[in-house]
Structure 1
Amino acid sequence: MKIFVIDIDKCVGCHNCQIVCKDEHCDNNWMPYAQPQPDTGQFWMKVNEKERGQTPKVKVSYTPVLCQHCENAPCAAICPQNAFDRRDDGLLLVNPSKCDGCNICIDACPYGALFANDELKIAQKCTGCAHLLDDGWPEPRCVDACAHDALRFGEFEDFADELKDAEFLKPEEGTNPHVYYLNLPKRFIGGEVANLEIEEVIIGATVTLTNMATGVVLETTTDDFGDFWFKQIDAAEYCIDVAKEGYLPRHVQDFVSTVEKDLNVGTIALYPTA
């Protein structure tokens, strides 16, 4: 069974995968696999970009999204023409010869990965470059073009050791996708610790983060710039404790919430003991 494995930590947002997908499918007729993709309006592979945090603690995450080739595909289940074909390798294709363009499958897809071609009166999506695979290619164009191994493609068994840490997009949908994600972006908290009396950052301060709901405790130390980061944490409410020899300890609780967004808590001031 073929699957995609996408490691978000390795994706730099170069958009190579998105570009070569357009190059492969726009104005190219790959029947019986797919009719040509329009020049505009469709992205069978799309890199979603999200800016997170607040200045100066800001990060940008990139998430490549394509058809998830779901085992329990709601688009296929709702299609009145039975226009979705499951290949032996697990890829799910829209058969252009069966599709009548009713487009009810488009709203059924929870990932926004199906598109209406009004000119051809068909629905379209990623084919996993099945035409290339059948011609001897080991992987689709998007995977071939990824310079950082953020996108990989192969047999499920080949990735078995890694998949224990993998996640699905929208797991609540229960679609059992064939696209597995590693290191999907979770919340972060960042800030700095400083002695405001002398206007100097404090290096090596111990910063403790406690999840108010679960009691889970994480710990880090401030770097050479007085900065601290807690990355890939759950969306929750937290309290922060800061300690450094020669300073009074500090407890911060009233504004540390990542429920809605990633958070820069700004400067936490410590005061000397003497």
Structure 2
Amino acid sequence: MKVFAIDLSVCNGCYCCQIACKDEHVGNDWTPYAKPQPDTGQFWIGLTEVVRGHVPHVKVAYTPNLCHHCDDAPCIEQCKAEAIYKRADGLVIIDPEKCIGCKLCADSCPHNAIFFNEQLNMAQKCTGCSHLLDSDPEEWSVPRCVDQCPTEAIRFGEEEDFADFIAEAEPYRVEAGTKSRVYYKGLPKKFIAGTVYEPTDKEVIIGAVCTLKDEQSGETFSETTTNFGDFWLKGLPDDRSFTLTIEKDGHQKVIPGITTDIDRGLGDIPMDLK
């Protein structure tokens, strides 16, 4: 059974996956796999770009999203025309010759990966480029989006070959419970960052130990400020309240009530070492 393995730590937001999908499907009729994708309005693989934090402590997260080719696909269950089916290799296909345009599949998809083509009156989505995989397996072993990814952030293949990756991966939307066949590593998690400086000398403080303590569980996260006085505390749980303690040369600064409802850049933090 095929899977997509997506490593967000090496995705640089080049949009090659999205462009390759357009190149393959816009203006091309691949019946019985899919009718042509519209020029605009649909991205069968779409790259979401989110700016996180506060200037100057900012990161950009890129997340490719496509049909998850779920093992428990609600779209298949909801389709009254029996136009949606799962192939033996795990890919889910909407038969363009059977689709009656009822939109039930699009409404039921928790991954927002099914689109409606008003002109053709049918639902459409990623096919895993199954027309290529079937036409010439020796030349095409992966979909176009995978073939064009310059950093190999998106890979495709047999589930057993990605066993180690899958063991470290996590669902994009765990609450969906659809047994997705798209696995992600490096999904964005909350961070708290800042720059520590000495206000009298107006110099950054290097080597200060910055420790976050979860005010509810007592769990701690710790980093040391860099040569620029910066600290980045990453991989934090959502919607928690923390106390930040900064320590250097016997001096201490405590900042309570920092929450992770959003990614937080705390800016410049003065700390008196005199």
TM-score relative to the length of structure 2: 0.96
Moved over 4 A (4+): none
Does residue 268 of structure 1 match 2:269?
A: yes
Deviation at 1:18, TM superposition (A): 0.1
3-state DSSP class of the match of 2:259?
coil
Q: What's the counterpart of residue 240 of structure 1? A: 244
Consecutive unaligned residues in structure 2, runs of 5 or more: none
Deviation at 1:248, TM superposition (A): 2.1
Alpha-carbon distance between aligned partners in 2 of 1:205 and 1:173, rounded to the nearest angstrom: 42
Does residue 161 of structure 1 match 2:164?
A: yes
3-state DSSP class of the match of 1:164?
helix
Among 175, 179, 190, the alignment partner of 2:178 is 175
TM-score relative to the length of structure 1: 0.96
Deviation at 1:213, TM superposition (A): 2.1
Aligned pairs, how many? Answer: 270
3-state DSSP class of the match of 2:269?
strand
Q: What's the counterpart of residue 101 of structure 2? A: 101
Deviation at 1:4, TM superposition (A): 0.1
Among 138, 149, 152, the alignment partner of 1:149 is 152
Could you say what the CA RMSD is over the residues aligned between the two structures, in angstroms?
1.0
Deviation at 1:122, TM superposition (A): 1.0
Alpha-carbon distance between aligned partners in 2 of 1:201 and 1:244, rounded to the nearest angstrom: 12
Alpha-carbon distance between aligned partners in 2 of 1:233 and 1:89, rounded to the nearest angstrom: 37
Q: What's the counterpart of residue 200 of structure 2? A: 197
Which range moves more in the overlay, 216-225 or 12-21? 216-225
Alpha-carbon distance between aligned partners in 2 of 1:194 and 1:131, rounded to the nearest angstrom: 59
3-state DSSP class of the match of 1:253?
strand
Alpha-carbon distance between aligned partners in 2 of 1:54 and 1:270, rounded to the nearest angstrom: 20
Alpha-carbon distance between aligned partners in 2 of 1:233 and 1:127, rounded to the nearest angstrom: 35
Among 225, 228, 232, the alignment partner of 1:229 is 232
Alpha-carbon distance between aligned partners in 1 of 2:86 and 2:74, rounded to the nearest angstrom: 13
Deviation at 1:124, TM superposition (A): 0.4
Contact 2:29 2:35 in 1 (8 A): yes
Deviation at 1:74, TM superposition (A): 1.0
Alpha-carbon distance between aligned partners in 2 of 1:55 and 1:22, rounded to the nearest angstrom: 34
Alpha-carbon distance between aligned partners in 1 of 2:7 and 2:216, rounded to the nearest angstrom: 29
Alpha-carbon distance between aligned partners in 2 of 1:250 and 1:147, rounded to the nearest angstrom: 45
Q: What's the counterpart of residue 66 of structure 1? A: 66
Q: How does 1:77-92 map to 2 (within 5 A)?
A: 77-92=77-92
- Percent identity of paired positions between Structure 1 and Structure 2: 49
Q: How does 1:48-59 map to 2 (within 5 A)?
A: 48-59=48-59
Contact 2:212 2:244 in 1 (8 A): yes
